[in-house]
């Protein structure tokens, strides 16, 4: 678990890294610790999986991916884990999860995000997933995003 200094490091970086030549030194100054400790703590958080990576998060639309679809599938319970792993391994799928159904209105238990520069590209991804799932899938839908209402990422409070 993170200690108090980790927590302060998270608070200081959750909105982004400083855009200065020596960002870890800038953070160290704010936290009152050595830059080498900032780097070591970030490395430890990376190794523990508490940081997925340090890097950039692109806006899909700005990069030309205008068709961002949450594909949802009603897959037989006995087969969903093996098939979910196979869907997640497709090169164009960016997220793939099993989630609970909300019957009767929401029968879907497998969620996979796909992105296309045009509608045909997105639909070809959906068709590839449908072919992979075959008869183990009883129904599916694609929910395209039509507006980003908020995209700030994680925000812990002080």
Partner 1 sequence: MRPEGEPVALDATDRALINALQEGFPLCDEPYAAVGASLGLDEAEVLRRLADLLERKVLTRFGPLYQIEKLGGAFVLAALKVPEADFERIAAIVNAFPEVAHNYRREHALNMWFVLATETAAGIADAIRRIEAATGLAVFAFPKEREYFVELKLDAG
Among 8, 31, 88, 123, binds partner 1 (CB under 8 A): 88
> CB 32 → partner 1: shortest distance, Å?
18
Give the residue carrying structure tokens 């929910």.
143
d(CA 25, CA 154): 23
> CB 135 → partner 1: shortest distance, Å?
20
Site string for partner 1, 13-32 (x = CB under 8 A): xxxxx-xxxxxxx-------
Degrees (nearest 5) of the Cα angle 51, 53, 56? 125
98 binds partner 1 (CB under 8 A): yes
> CB 130 → partner 1: shortest distance, Å?
17
Residues facing residue 70 across a β-bridge: 113, 143
d(CA 105, CA 5): 45
Among candidate residues 80, 147, 66, 67, the one with its CA nearest the CA of residue 108: 80
- Report the residue number, 101 or 138, with the smaller CB distance to partner 1: 101
Q: Which of residues 43-62 bind partner 1 (CB under 8 A)?
A: 43, 45, 48-62
Among candidate residues 102, 110, 107, the one with its CA nearest the CA of residue 80: 110
Among 74, 75, 96, 126, binds partner 1 (CB under 8 A): 96
The number of residues that bind partner 1 (CB under 8 A) is 77
Among candidate residues 68, 115, 66, 107, the one with its CA nearest the CA of residue 90: 115
103 binds partner 1 (CB under 8 A): no
Among 100, 103, 134, 135, binds partner 1 (CB under 8 A): 100
């Amino acid at each position: 678990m993170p200690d108090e200094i980790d927590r302060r490091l998270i608070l200081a970086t959750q909105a982004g890294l400083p855009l200065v030549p020596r960002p870890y030194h800038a953070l160290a100054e704010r936290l009152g610790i050595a830059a080498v400790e900032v780097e070591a703590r970030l490395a430890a958080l990376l190794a523990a999986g508490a940081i997925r990576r340090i890097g950039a998060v692109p806006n899909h639309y700005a990069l030309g991916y205008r068709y961002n679809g949450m594909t949802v599938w009603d897959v037989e319970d006995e087969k969903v884990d093996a098939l979910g792993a196979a869907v997640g391994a497709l090169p164009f799928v960016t997220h793939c999860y099993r989630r609970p159904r909300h019957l009767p209105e929401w029968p879907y238990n497998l969620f996979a995000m796909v992105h296309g520069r045009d509608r045909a590209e997105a639909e070809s991804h959906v068709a590839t997933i449908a072919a992979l799932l075959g008869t183990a899938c009883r129904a599916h839908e694609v929910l395209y995003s039509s507006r980003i209402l908020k995209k700030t990422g994680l925000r812990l409070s002080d």
